[in-house]
Structure 1
Amino acid sequence: MALPSGEYIIANVRTRNRAAFSNSDDHTDLLSSSGNHATFRDKWLIEPFPNGQYTIINKDYNSMAICDHRPRTGSHVFGVRVPESGAANKPHYLWDIRSTGVPHVYTVCKPASANLCWKAELEHGSTITLAEYRRDDSFHWTFNFNPAELKPAVGGVNLTEDERKKAEERFDKFCENRVPGAAFDSQQHDPASKCLPGTRIAVREKIAQWRDDHEAPPIFWLKGPAGAGKTSIARTIAEECRESGNLAGSFFFRRGLAGCTDITGFVPTVSSQLTVNVPLSLNLVYKAIHDDHFIFDKSRQDQFKKLIVNTLYQLEDVVTPKVLIVDALDECDTKSAVEELVNILSDVHFPLRVFVTSRGEGYIQEIFNHPNIEERTCCLPLEDPDLEPSGDIYKFLKNQFSAISFMKRHLIKQPWPSEADLQNLVKLSEGLFIYASTVVRLVEGDTYPPDRLKNVLSLPKSPLAGLDCLYAQILASAITSPEFKQVVGTIVLTRKPLSVNELQHLLQLERHAVLNALHGLHSVLMISNDDDAPIQPFHKSLYDHLTDENRSGAAAFIDPTVHAIRITLACLKSMLADMQYATSHRPDWKKSYACHNWFYHLADALIHKNLSQEDYHNFTDCLTNFFVYAWNPWIEHFKFQSDLGTVDRLPAEQKSVGSSI
């Protein structure tokens, strides 16, 4: 509950005025008071109800603050005489008082319309109305706390309305470059990917101790092998930080998700999240933008420091420690980008902390070994014997198989699985949660789970071979499809997840051919019954398996450079086909994957120098046709969409075409 019952002065953070009634009449408006007028009574009795909502009653006038039955933006908050005992629990008599995550600062909103909140105007005597909540201190209130005692910048930055509006417009434009899919709670992530209650306790306790220790290094680096559960831990920590008011923002790198493999959108994403998670930061962000007109022309390091680090530093006295969570650093696409980002993050200071996860790749280890970064980093390897996860993997398997057994109790003879089977699976996993979760999905999807579990338990017991053999068993039925490499290779190598319909269009295949190639892969790919839903791997280890011939074998091996050529050809052919069937001279490419990504795959394809004669001719013929028939309409498309920035990124790829083909 946000507040205990008691007597309060309610003051607005921005205006410093108090909420008050000027008389005891029915339907008298709630007003903004400077506190210097005798008729304006500003002492309030606040009483909680069992449902967590509150009545707000003026002590002197015995009037209750309420609103209309069906309030809307602009509705007045007004007073009525307190009803008889027991009658004050009507919905329009009650309010939600919610913490903003900043000590002493709250919002007051209608339970049935959570976005309608109290809003104060500057003038003494102006009415307090309900409005759609914005990240603005006129919506923020203190209870028995003088807003003047907040740091000056918190209680309202000295910007005129015009200056504030211009800064807001510039910030909103900057935030158009954010990456929605990078947030920890994005719908594009596997919702099941978080720690089971009661698991990974030792790791989570170490992270919590670091978060709250002002003297601890500002960076916590959790490193471990693929499939060890780093992302599940990161997502759990992010959720816990959000619930406790400690979350600054999150950025989850993810291969195959648009914008989630580079750092271009990192600062816009994190700064936009910060203003939502820490509402009092917004005015400070506007002030930073106003004070530096060229801030959005500067380096990412300067932007990060001024918009995020310095903003939170100014709130140091009034906010709890805030954690920025960066997951899967190793899935960022270039070593130079990783190095740049780590250098940016190493410059933070309290109250901001940074929690980072990655594999212990050689180049990442080298970056963290740099003396300036190492001294500012607390490193926790998941291979640490004190963090041995076998017990947690056992709990996970026990929990999941109990659910499967219950759901299919009419088929499965109980008890199932046996204790010996569970212990064998724990040994086969060798500490890799991805092994355990893949086994669960595989067994769950079978018509008779016990038979599938027997097959899994017959696989080799070497830890590396265990995961590879499990993948090989799952892929065995799918690789018989003639379109397997074409479809699955495209899924693991495209820059964003594609749906069945998008794969059909890009690869120019029939629906049944796409579905046939995906048959039996529900345990390793997120596949929906909705043909418009994106398909993506549950875990990057599938990409690692498929793109390493020593692990996958020739039948399943997908060569990234060879397949880059095939995806490039598919993109070009798809656009040429769109040209042929367009009803106007400009095809509708607004949502076309090929239109927005062909040149990236072309750049990857040009790495491959040893094309077969047939591939060489196909490649050059298709490129020639594209430049002759589709180049101008493609340029026109981006002019029409006012997005010539995409075209500006082309010169390097264009120049390399002539020298490489």
Structure 2
Amino acid sequence: ITVIDLSAKVASWCSEYYANVKDARDDIERLQRETQGLKATLERVQSLCDGPNGVKLQKSQSLREAVKDCTKQLDQLETKLEPRTTNKLMSRYGMRALRWPLKSKEVDGIMKKLGNCKDNISFSLQVDQELQILDIHQKIVLDKLRSANNAEFDSHDEEHNARCYQGTRVELLRQIDTWASNRGSERIFWLNGMAGTGKSTISRTVAQTFADKGDLGASFFFKRGEGDRGHAGMFITTIATQLIQKLPSLAPHVQNAIEADPGISKKALKQQFDTLVLQPLVKIQTHPQKSSSIVIVIDALDECDREEDVRTIIRLFSQVKQITSIQIKFFLTSRPELPIRLGFEDISGKYEGLALHQIPEPIIKEDISAFLEHQLAMIREDYNKSVAQNRQLPAYWPGHTTIQSLVGMAIPLFIFATTVCRFINDRKCGQPKDQLAKVLKYETRSQASKLDATYLPVLDQLLVGVTISERRDLVEEFRQVIGSIIILASPLSATSLDRLLGVPEGTVDSRTDLLHSVLSVPSRPDHPIRLLHLSFRDFLVDTEKRETNPFWVDEKDAHNNIGYIT
């Protein structure tokens, strides 16, 4: 700190004057002691600024003002103490030519000002330390808010999940952005669509866009079978925790609410929302500098376990118009299932909605085509880098006609396009050209069932080259292993599943080896195996496919099997 150098200079001048001027030694000594005391205080500030809380300390407005005033006083004093004796006299008589430039009353005034500087700095440090203690207490209280693991859009679990490919969903994303920025629009935007139409991909893209602009308040991605992400038990507290990070002025209000009711995190959803979100937002001061909205992104609301909770959440969100301090908006996605439709009927006229099936087919076709062209080109390039030249795919592979055939099979399901690309790129199953041929065999079947065309190419390869008796055993083992994976409340690792099912070690790994295009199978056996998309579970347990899908899983039997084993 420059001010320390100034205090050292002043103290040094005092020493020189004390040694060479005899008629003002009392004043000089008093001023020297005061300056040295101030220097010690400033060195303490420097030490604290270099410590672990230094960044916070440097941001202290009161401390900055106190140091600024101290610098001003020392600068003026140093100017007064600097000798004005001519160089000629100094060279002839040395320091004996020095004359003390201050009168006793001036010294008294300077002493008072320097003492005030020292007191102000010490007081600022004390206040800052008390604030830090309060901050620690606040953190201890706020830590009582339970938060769902990996529920945020940018969590590790969501890290590798898709965002909208550049140049796709352009009009839809523009519409969402316009809704968010329009202060006169409704506070809720509901995007709905059937399984596999790309809702979660859109949600991740929307959340990332708002985060990049500084407008994302919170996000929660429901996911059935993923522990706390599969129910609303920690939903409100997770949202509240993220909102505090975005709007720190909420912290004391939420802290007061928790101290008033330490068990609030376990209370009814309405009470949690009122206490931890709505009322703190109502109480914070207006943010005139924040002209845009703060958007909260909620994905896959239909994957929240209890239907009553879903309707309650929708109803609670409609209350945010009470908040005038800042404009809070909610972007929600879900399937158009009955409980959710009823929930939105309850708040009719208080939301904006869009169904993905309402988007004109030519736009969807163009987006899926762009995605497939890009992904298949990447697959071709990666494959060609890894094989000898005589095995490489031609530069035109797979060709416009083939891509359009895949697009026709996919519309309107983006999940078909993403699953097919993973399947074609799975080298354990075969080379891309052969994998693509397997998919195209289901082209006519895709007109009857999009999910059949999406998942049967992946599953049917398991039966290639096996005898009737082997097929029976393989399907039974599939139902035991994969049936367990799709109905578990929380995902388990391959090692844990082997033990749970009482099968030889490595059985789960071998049964999932060819299913990487529909399951997230980690390389480490102690990491959990997850569904890549809930529609795979829907496909396997669909009772209408009991006679036509050889891999059909009886959901009740799968639950009973797990219950019996445990």
TM-score for both structures, normalised by structure 1? 0.62
SS at match of 1:355: strand
Distance 1:191 1:277, change over 3 A: farther
SS at match of 1:195: coil
Corresponding residue for 1:7? none
Q: CA offsets, 1:371-413, max 9 Å, x none?
A: xx12111001111134731111111111101111111224212
Corresponding residue for 2:455? 471
Gaps spanning 5+ residues in structure 1: where? 1-19, 29-65, 76-108, 110-115, 129-155, 572-661
Which of 515, 518, 523 is the aligned partner of 1:529? 523
2:397 pairs with 1:412: no
Distance 1:517 1:549, change over 3 A: farther
Higher helix fraction: Structure 1 or Structure 2? Answer: 2
Which of 302, 314, 317 is the aligned partner of 2:287? 317
Q: CA offsets, 1:556-588, max 9 Å, x none?
A: 1112221111111222xxxxxxxxxxxxxxxxx
Q: CA offsets, 1:161-196, max 9 Å, x none?
A: 8876655433212x2x21022111122236132111
Corresponding residue for 2:141? 170
Q: Is the CA contact (8 Å cut-off) linking 1:252 and 1:328 kept in structure 2?
A: yes
Counterpart of 1:333 in structure 2: which amino acid? D
Which of 427, 431, 435 is the aligned partner of 1:452? 435
Q: Is the CA contact (8 Å cut-off) linking 2:149 and 2:229 kept in structure 1?
A: no
2:182 pairs with 1:199: no
Higher strand fraction: Structure 1 or Structure 2? Answer: 1
Q: Within 5 Å, give how 1:468-547 maps onto structure 2.
A: 468-478=452-462, 480=471, 481=474, 482-547=476-541
Corresponding residue for 1:376? 350
Gaps spanning 5+ residues in structure 2: where? 10-44, 69-126, 464-470
Distance 1:67 1:395, change over 3 A: farther
Q: Is the CA contact (8 Å cut-off) linking 1:258 and 1:496 kept in structure 2?
A: yes
Rounded Cα–Cα distance in structure 1 between residues aligned with 2:482 and 2:342: 34
TM-score for both structures, normalised by structure 2? 0.72
Rounded Cα–Cα distance in structure 1 between residues aligned with 2:404 and 2:549: 33
Corresponding residue for 2:149? 180
Identity of aligned residues (%): 29
Counterpart of 1:376 in structure 2: which amino acid? K
Distance 1:71 1:415, change over 3 A: farther
2:317 pairs with 1:345: yes
Q: Is the CA contact (8 Å cut-off) linking 1:478 and 1:517 kept in structure 2?
A: no
Distance 1:464 1:237, change over 3 A: farther
Corresponding residue for 2:542? 548
Distance 1:118 1:547, change over 3 A: farther
Distance 1:385 1:273, change over 3 A: closer
Rounded Cα–Cα distance in structure 1 between residues aligned with 2:251 and 2:551: 51
2:198 pairs with 1:229: yes
Rounded Cα–Cα distance in structure 2 between residues aligned with 1:220 and 1:186: 23
Counterpart of 2:442 in structure 1: which amino acid? L
1:281 Cα offset (Å): 2.8
Q: CA offsets, 1:7-57, max 9 Å, x none?
A: xxxxxxxxxxxxx975764999xxxxxxxxxxxxxxxxxxxxxxxxxxxxx
Corresponding residue for 2:52? 73
Distance 1:171 1:517, change over 3 A: same
Larger of the two Rg values belongs to structure: 2
Corresponding residue for 2:411? 430
Which of 359, 362, 365 is the aligned partner of 2:338? 362
Rounded Cα–Cα distance in structure 1 between residues aligned with 2:7 and 2:203: 53
Q: Within 5 Å, give how 1:559-574 maps onto structure 2.
A: 559-571=554-566
Rounded Cα–Cα distance in structure 2 between residues aligned with 1:415 and 1:169: 61
SS at match of 1:470: helix
Rounded Cα–Cα distance in structure 1 between residues aligned with 2:481 and 2:229: 22
Which of 226, 250, 254 is the aligned partner of 1:281? 250
Q: CA offsets, 1:239-294, max 9 Å, x none?
A: 11111111111111101101111100011111111122333332332244456667
Q: Is the CA contact (8 Å cut-off) linking 2:187 and 2:351 kept in structure 1?
A: yes
Counterpart of 1:343 in structure 2: which amino acid? R
Counterpart of 1:448 in structure 2: which amino acid? Q
Q: CA offsets, 1:444-471, max 9 Å, x none?
A: 1143111211221121444451321331
Counterpart of 1:537 in structure 2: which amino acid? L
SS at match of 2:183: coil
1:67 Cα offset (Å): 9.0
Corresponding residue for 1:330? 302
Rounded Cα–Cα distance in structure 2 between residues aligned with 1:292 and 1:163: 19
Rounded Cα–Cα distance in structure 1 between residues aligned with 2:506 and 2:259: 56
Corresponding residue for 2:359? 385
Rounded Cα–Cα distance in structure 2 between residues aligned with 1:403 and 1:127: 59
1:527 Cα offset (Å): 1.0
Cα RMSD, aligned residues only = 3.1
Rounded Cα–Cα distance in structure 1 between residues aligned with 2:57 and 2:166: 35
Considering Cα pairs closer than 8 Å and 6+ residues apart, tell me whether 1 or 2 has the greater RCO. 2
Distance 1:415 1:71, change over 3 A: farther
Q: Is the CA contact (8 Å cut-off) linking 1:181 and 1:257 kept in structure 2?
A: no
Q: What is the aligned residue count? A: 442
1:336 Cα offset (Å): 1.1
SS at match of 1:215: coil
Q: Is the CA contact (8 Å cut-off) linking 1:478 and 1:521 kept in structure 2?
A: no
